[in-house]
Structure 1
């Protein structure tokens, strides 16, 4: 990582787009010089100049830290030589400054190397996230949507939350869910489910048949990970599967696999849709059947809001949970325009972060979708690129 790259990752050390990370150690160096002369011969502090490369090691690049180490050493010799022999700090403090500069330079090497590795990991995580959560046009397949994903681990940026839209000859399907657990295992499981959804969601006419394909895929994926020695236990996924059928413009078909119940948000208020009475995907053998398909009325001016448990389990400093339905109802009552997906997602995101003071206990996904007007609804084929809302 170059110093310019480090500056891009440290916006507080940039002014008008230019890095100023080299600047903070300089006033310290000048201050030590002036203070050494002002305190007199009874209190020599020139050896404090060893702090200058130490500060540089924390915020500057390797070469800048090395330059400050050399400058501190030269300054020490120059300032100490200006005093009579009986008041000089001497060779011992010279060694202290030299050793401090060398250690500071080594510390800067280690820090920059670590930052480069972290940056590489972040790039990989970001690529992984965008592979799982493929970019989606905001107005596509007859619906308008907005979504945001917030990782509980800011550095990781990946988790088991997922969402996707799949248009097809039998209408548009929406799939939102949360894989149990964290890490790459959860990401792999989410990718497996989304891959099946994108294929079966296009070809299967019946929503129950699509659900069966997803259940089978979950079990097969779990068997595969166990066969290669990565037994992750009975991993499962809570999810909501929704169909916007062309023959039902004022309703949706929905299956809930133990997930948070969606909310229908409209100018007249907020109502909760059927809850997760079914077992999660991957645990269907426990119930012996899939959850039922509910046909739920959805007015043209209503937006469907789906969240993962990172929203409903967000707590404030007193341990009080975030009350999603109440907060959304209050926001929509104050401004009915907040039913628009982008505004609704932004309002919930800001509310969760404010309520939890930015300390998320779990990965958080907020996804809002509503039908476009019949004219110019943008229904089309299945492009593999677009704009991810995050």
Structure 2
């Protein structure tokens, strides 16, 4: 059975949200009330004041609010109303055939305009479906608790219509522990999405198979350089892209520590259930794709840092740290978070944490994001079961 395209249905649903009563669309009431008003006024005024020809506006308004068939029905109804009203009028006050042609032609044009509008809505909804599919492909949906980790994420694209940008994140469990990657590709647009997809594809394979987190880091660097070389060979002007990122490993052999590799990214924060907030090491690595500038092909060092039970690792992109208020001041994430967690230690829970940072960022910048924004929080679950032998995903 051929699957029907959901875009037309979604377009109709979106349009019907304009005016609803008890769950049903009543947008047709607007042109109907206008038609009734025109008829009543025309009948209850002197013969010198004829407004029956205004029926042409009824189908035009229906074209802006209703579907094609409803608009066609109002075009016919408006023409019938014109004829009926004009027939009973006194001979000296009849509007005549010229206004009849006006109402008739106006109705036809309204139906055509409505058809064009509906097709445009369908194309728009199809593009939104494509954007949603692209986003789910790049930022795949993650189970609420996966690989022994509880996590929560908020992703806000600076371009609300695009719905996807250069920020990326993922969680990959494997035989050697669970690894987390959060990053931000330089620039915007589809080129940034391509780079993010390339890095995530490499991360998902390397994080599962490689025992050494340094090797995972090295493969990410190599993938970014290969991506740049490919773009350069194509003659693309965006072949100089790079990406900042932070790679976190949750080893199975020692649950009191995490391994960190930084690629020029904002340092993660550790938020504890006791109300503490501390900054983890930022790392010495250059952004992905720029390691060859130093002439050193080796990966950045892996730092093993202690992580207390119940502590949540918070990672954000520069859409948070570089959010500005009306005075141009950056959002003081660490300070705001420390005060809030001190008041309510339950804020250390991943879901509460990302909501707090999201809401605080939006309030600080007045809802005007200058860059893609990602907030990602992760911590070990109370039942951290081994993932050894887990099938690849």
Where 2:48 maps in the other structure, the secondary structure is coil
CA distance in 2, matches of 1:55, 1:197: 53
Residues 31-42 of structure 1 aligned to structure 2 (within 5 Å): 31-42=37-48
Aligned-residue offset at 1:265: 1.5
CA distance in 1, matches of 2:340, 2:136: 31
CA distance in 2, matches of 1:274, 1:348: 20
CA distance in 2, matches of 1:315, 1:42: 62
**1:370 to 1:51, Cα distance in 2 relative to 1, 3 A:** same
Counterpart contact for 2:251–2:259, Cα < 8 Å: yes
- Partner of residue 388, structure 1: none
Residues 324-339 of structure 1 aligned to structure 2 (within 5 Å): 324-339=333-348
Say yes or no: does 1:252 pair with 2:258: yes
**1:378 to 1:127, Cα distance in 2 relative to 1, 3 A:** farther
CA deviation profile, 1:7-27 (whole Å, cap 9, x unmatched):
422434333433323222211
- Partner of residue 52, structure 2: 46
CA distance in 1, matches of 2:392, 2:93: 78
Say yes or no: does 1:305 pair with 2:311: no
CA distance in 2, matches of 1:226, 1:355: 39
Counterpart contact for 2:7–2:125, Cα < 8 Å: no
**1:44 to 1:312, Cα distance in 2 relative to 1, 3 A:** farther
- Partner of residue 3, structure 2: none
166-175 or 327-336, which deviates more: 327-336
Say yes or no: does 1:180 pair with 2:186: yes
CA deviation profile, 1:283-323 (whole Å, cap 9, x unmatched):
11123344432222222121111111222233345544333
CA distance in 2, matches of 1:77, 1:323: 69
Counterpart contact for 1:143–1:377, Cα < 8 Å: no
CA distance in 2, matches of 1:14, 1:89: 37
CA distance in 1, matches of 2:7, 2:171: 40
- Partner of residue 64, structure 1: 70
CA distance in 2, matches of 1:256, 1:17: 51
- Partner of residue 323, structure 2: 314
Say yes or no: does 1:146 pair with 2:152: yes
TM-score of the pair, normalised by structure 1: 0.90
The RMSD of aligned alpha carbons is: 2.3
Counterpart contact for 1:201–1:210, Cα < 8 Å: yes
Structure 2: which 5+ runs fail to align? 1-5
Counterpart contact for 2:243–2:287, Cα < 8 Å: yes
- Partner of residue 172, structure 2: 166
CA distance in 1, matches of 2:223, 2:37: 67
124-133 or 345-354, which deviates more: 345-354
Pick the aligned partner of 1:345 from 346, 354, 362.
Answer: 354
CA distance in 1, matches of 2:7, 2:142: 34
Aligned-residue offset at 1:225: 2.4
CA distance in 2, matches of 1:307, 1:202: 23
Pick the aligned partner of 1:91 from 97, 102, 105.
Answer: 97
TM-score of the pair, normalised by structure 2: 0.89
CA distance in 2, matches of 1:321, 1:179: 21
Say yes or no: does 1:358 pair with 2:364: no
Pick the aligned partner of 1:285 from 283, 288, 292.
Answer: 292
Structure 1: which 5+ runs fail to align? 385-390
Pick the aligned partner of 1:275 from 265, 279, 282.
Answer: 282
CA distance in 2, matches of 1:254, 1:320: 29
Q: Aligned residues, how many?
A: 383
- Partner of residue 228, structure 1: 234
